Structure 1
């Protein structure tokens, strides 16, 4: 492709969702001279093959990703409190509680302190 051809066409990313409640998913990239033509090309591709609820066409240069330093920063953040792996002991606690022998004292009035 010539230098002039590289400036005429832009790369667009196409996202679609199958239903109103479904999330958008990236489908493919395409070359088009403008956003309107990219949308027409995306619709032609999808409406012939499957039904979709919505289509987004975004110019690739308008999508911003994380830089390498930003990705490194995310690795350093401590988010263990958001993960449920720390609650593994609860299953054992519930099992022990359910297997505990209940006496007449437990059923009739709870545990009484020895006097």
Structure 2
């Protein structure tokens, strides 16, 4: 079991440009942080441009224990605080638009029955 003590699992995160967020890319085995960083850099220098790399030893990452995850559950009913988005607005706007009168309909109320094929005198031109 000497290999388990010598090599450690590292998680590699990269950032493609200065405005993007870090994203997890892969895991690797290395004897220490320095070698893990060199291995991560070698991998990215051959594949894609990045502006920054983070290498984190997996054992240094803290996660919640199963019994602690219960603390994440909401104790009260405050669903009004959750953002559902504005997807319903499109349907609501469509319904509103169907109720709005258009210009042609309003103009038809004026009693002008000539239509588009009639001349100003009101007689048919043939």
- Please give the TM-score of this superposition, normalised by the length of structure 2: 0.63
**Cα distance in 1, alignment partners of residues 78 and 68 from structure 2:** 16
The size of the alignment, in residue pairs, is 99
Show the counterpart of 1:111.
none
Q: Normalised by the size of structure 1, how large is the TM-score?
A: 0.69
CA distance in 2, matches of 1:13, 1:76: 31
In the alignment, is residue 73 of structure 1 matched against residue 71 of structure 2? yes
* Structure 1 match to 2:49: 51
Name the CA distance, whole Å, in 2 between partners of 1:27 and 1:5. 24
- Structure 2 residues not aligned, in runs of 5+: 102-126
Larger-Rg structure: 2
Q: Which has the higher helix share?
A: 1
Unaligned 5+ runs, structure 1: 102-115
Instruction: Calculate the aligned-residue CA RMSD, in Å.
Output: 2.8
